[in-house]
Structure 1
Amino acid sequence: MNSSIQKYWLIFAQAVTVMLAAVFIVATLKPEWLSESRVGSLASTTSFMESAYDGQLSPGSYHEAVKRSMPAVVNIFTSKANSKPKARKGSSPNSIDPLFNFFFGDQAPEKEPSSSLGSGVLVSPEGYILTNHHVISDADEIDVALSDARKVKAKVIGSDPETDIAVLKIEAKQLPTPITLGKVESVHVGDVVLAIGNPFGVGQTVTSGIVSALGRDHVGINTFENFIQTDAAINPGNSGGALIDTRGNLIGINTAIYSNNGGSMGIGFAIPVNLAKQVMESILANGSVTRGWIGVEPQNLSKELSESLGLPGNTVGVLLSGVLEGGPASRGGALPGDVLTALDNKPIKDVRDLLNQVAQINPGNQAKLTILRKGKQVELTAQIGKRPKPKQQTN
């Protein structure tokens, strides 16, 4: 009997020894086998609280507005083949790069083509796109990348540097649904807005903010200014992109930022949709924008200037420091030194106000000028002329 018990005990002890040896070997050579089994056992005994997705958007989400408008926002890539560098004054073209000339003769080396990027907004099923003039100015080639990753060539229909608006056209089948144009009258300070564009070329991006101010002028960016100011982040590459309301309607074309470092600092400017539409319609109808002009060089009235002219301290208007000989104002009888206080009985606040009021009058129409001359009010009539095109900058 005792021998049988000893025999079974010996078998048990040997089995335990073998199992412990096996565990030691596995723990040494394949420890993950043991950890995986432990993790598996923990997972099987652990429960989690998970929310049930009911298909509803998160409170305050602007997903529907973005979904509606984002396909109409395009990326714009422009390129320009730089001309040959000019020779220095008093030297021959050979002096540009002597080593190059040693191998290749008199021809000057071609510079690498420059490229830039921006954004645009598809506004019609015919393929018309609104963007900024500065995005496409002087470009030799313009490529438009659609939301479905297709790339197509674009041509410039017209451009207005004085408002920084340009109109492009693309030819492609199955274009995205154009964006819906909103009403500026429905936009108020404090409204939530979204900016859509291609900042820094990273791809289509949406940022949010509020309308910080309306009717911003005297910014010094364009000749004619009436900006929507927003703190929605606008960065390089966003130019020409869409500023939309929370319903997905276009309310502005993003155009510029105020920045000390090139990045967004919470002050961005967008051209209101009504001005962009007005410029676009004029370009589509006439190929350019026609504005009124009277041919004067106006100057804002300061307190010191008013005192030197002997004007009452509350005088509102602009000083005509120069009058173009033979121009509309000159033919109407205006003289240098006159103070223009009203145009068609509408008071003139400052130079920009005069510029905007005159620009809205069709060339050929008559306008009444109310001026102060030597302390006396004089009424003149001038036939509005056509505003000359701005001179293009040359390098």
Structure 2
Amino acid sequence: MKKFFGLVGMAVLGGALTLGGYKLLFNETVVVNNKTAGTTSIVQTNYTPTFNKKSTAVAAAAIDFTLAAEQTVHSVVHVKNTTIRTQTNPLDIFFGNGNGQRKFEQVGTGSGVIISSDGYIVTNNHVIDNANDIQITLNNQKKFKAELIGTDANNDIALLKIDADMELPFTPFANSDNIKIGEWVLAVGNPYNLTSTVTAGIVSAKGRDLEGNRNIESFIQTDAAVNPGNSGGALVNTRGELVGINTAISSKTGSFIGYSFAVPSNIAKKIVDDLLEFGVVQEAILGIAIDTDYTEEGVKVGKVFYEEGKKMELKEGDIIKSINNVKISKFSELKGQLTSKRPGDNINVTIDRDGDLLTKNIVLTKKVKQIIAKTFGWQLKDLTPKEKKKRNVIKGVKIEYTADKRNDLSGYIITKINGEEVDNAEKAAQLIDNLSNSNYRNNLIELISLTGDKERFRF
């Protein structure tokens, strides 16, 4: 036993001596840094984590479309138009007993929006164009014959009326200027004759102009699914208010592939009001031409057309920044604002003039028919007796504006075209375009310059 305890004692003493020697020889503290790479969090794109009950309730309320759908679906109608067309078959003339003509019905369908309880309906002009008969089917399947009140082909809007002998559900207009990019909207219509169809999306862009379509230049662009048959249907906000009339889609297949376009409600409402009050659309203008070479933000004034006896607040070179506090970044946005106004309306135009921001109150004037010689982009105008006396000419047509600033002939007087005297702007424009389209390439226009010199222009 003594031997056992002796061995244990020697072991303990040896361990103590070893530890003491280590402390004496290696007195520094050794630190080991253990570095690990940060982990990457992977989240599935179709999964939304719940942070807390309150935030979840707010998110759910923000994307609840049931109220808007319920308020809209009964005011969106199915529009059926029937057109009688004539087809000519030459074989019938020689081998049949007829005159070679055969009449047949062509049926088209689309959508419309009831905008008043007494039965006024807005749709697209292309939905009812050339229709001999228009039939409206409500969401409850009741059918009515519609009367065409008026159309505006330029903005693709038509106004119909039905007599239902009862108050109808309708969708109120919203101010489309207030809608924001990224805001949720619903498209309600009848695609492929599937009645009462509701789709959702967001506003992708505002003031959108479509390439190749120069008549309508201020669309609301959305990614709500719109297909053939949706034309004339409602685009509404989450409160069920009308912000646009669905009109077009961007597609290579004829079906929806991502983008749809709607005429803003402010434009549609103004057209409806004009058709009801005047029977035709009243177009308002600023009285300016645009500098198309300007590519920065805003719209640059290229030329100002002065009316006799009227002070013009705008000047050449001004850059239009906003109208009635609505930002103007490009021409389509300016066009949209003007289309929603009437001649005689007062608007506040904020401009950048040589670096200074100024706000001008301007009374819009009525658009007069513009006569354009498309070959050169010349805007032509009949000379007044006063202008003829001032320029010392008996006959002539004034070049009011030229699109090509490198060959600016604004103010020049056209006196002859290929030796023929001209005194009518419309005929002069037609003659120039006809000659340009002919094979003859030695045409001559005689002009009088701003200094009174006679000049010649060959084309």
Name the TM-score class by shorter chain.
0.5 to 0.7
Asked if 1:68 corresponds to 2:71, the answer is: yes
Change in CA separation of 1:382 and 1:246 when aligned onto 2, cut-off 3 Å: closer
Q: Give 3-state SS (helix, strand or coil) of 2:251's partner.
A: coil
Change in CA separation of 1:82 and 1:206 when aligned onto 2, cut-off 3 Å: same
Aligned match of 1:362: 343
Aligned match of 2:389: none
Aligned match of 2:245: 253
How far apart, in 2, do the equivalents of 1:188 and 1:352 lie? 17
1:14-59: CA deviation from partner (whole Å, max 9, x where unpaired) = xxxxxxxxxxxxxxxxxxxxxxxxxxxxxxxxxxxxxxxxxxxx97
Q: Name the TM-score, length of structure 1 as normaliser.
A: 0.62
Q: 1:317 aligns with which of 289, 293, 300?
A: 300
How far apart, in 2, do the equivalents of 1:222 and 1:314 lie? 20
How far apart, in 1, do the equivalents of 2:66 and 2:163 lie? 29
Q: 1:104 aligns with which of 97, 103, 111?
A: 97
Aligned match of 2:108: 116
The 5-angstrom pairing of residues 120-131 of structure 1 reads: 120-131=112-123
| C-alpha displacement of 1:288 | 1.1
Change in CA separation of 1:67 and 1:383 when aligned onto 2, cut-off 3 Å: closer
How far apart, in 2, do the equivalents of 1:246 and 1:355 lie? 27
Q: Name the TM-score, length of structure 2 as normaliser.
A: 0.54
Asked if 1:167 corresponds to 2:159, the answer is: yes
| C-alpha displacement of 1:184 | 2.4
Change in CA separation of 1:221 and 1:75 when aligned onto 2, cut-off 3 Å: farther
Aligned match of 1:387: 368
Q: Which runs of 5+ in 2 are unaligned?
A: 1-59, 310-314, 352-361, 372-459
Aligned match of 1:27: none
Change in CA separation of 1:213 and 1:316 when aligned onto 2, cut-off 3 Å: closer
How far apart, in 2, do the equivalents of 1:301 and 1:162 lie? 25
How far apart, in 2, do the equivalents of 1:112 and 1:225 lie? 36
Letter in 2 for 1:178: F
Matched residues, number: 293
Higher relative contact order (CA 8 A, sep 6+): 1
Q: Give 3-state SS (helix, strand or coil) of 1:253's partner.
A: strand
The 5-angstrom pairing of residues 32-51 of structure 1 reads: none
Query: Mean alpha-carbon deviation: is it higher for 273-282 or for 169-178?
Result: 169-178
Aligned match of 1:209: 201
Change in CA separation of 1:293 and 1:78 when aligned onto 2, cut-off 3 Å: same
Change in CA separation of 1:300 and 1:238 when aligned onto 2, cut-off 3 Å: same
Same amino acid, percent of matched pairs: 36
1:199-227: CA deviation from partner (whole Å, max 9, x where unpaired) = 01122211111111222235543524322
| C-alpha displacement of 1:120 | 0.3
| C-alpha displacement of 1:329 | 6.0
Change in CA separation of 1:99 and 1:267 when aligned onto 2, cut-off 3 Å: same
Q: 1:177 aligns with which of 169, 182, 196?
A: 169
RMSD: 4.1
Change in CA separation of 1:187 and 1:102 when aligned onto 2, cut-off 3 Å: same
How far apart, in 2, do the equivalents of 1:166 and 1:362 lie? 21
- Greater helix percent: which structure? 1
How far apart, in 2, do the equivalents of 1:180 and 1:348 lie? 26
Change in CA separation of 1:261 and 1:218 when aligned onto 2, cut-off 3 Å: closer
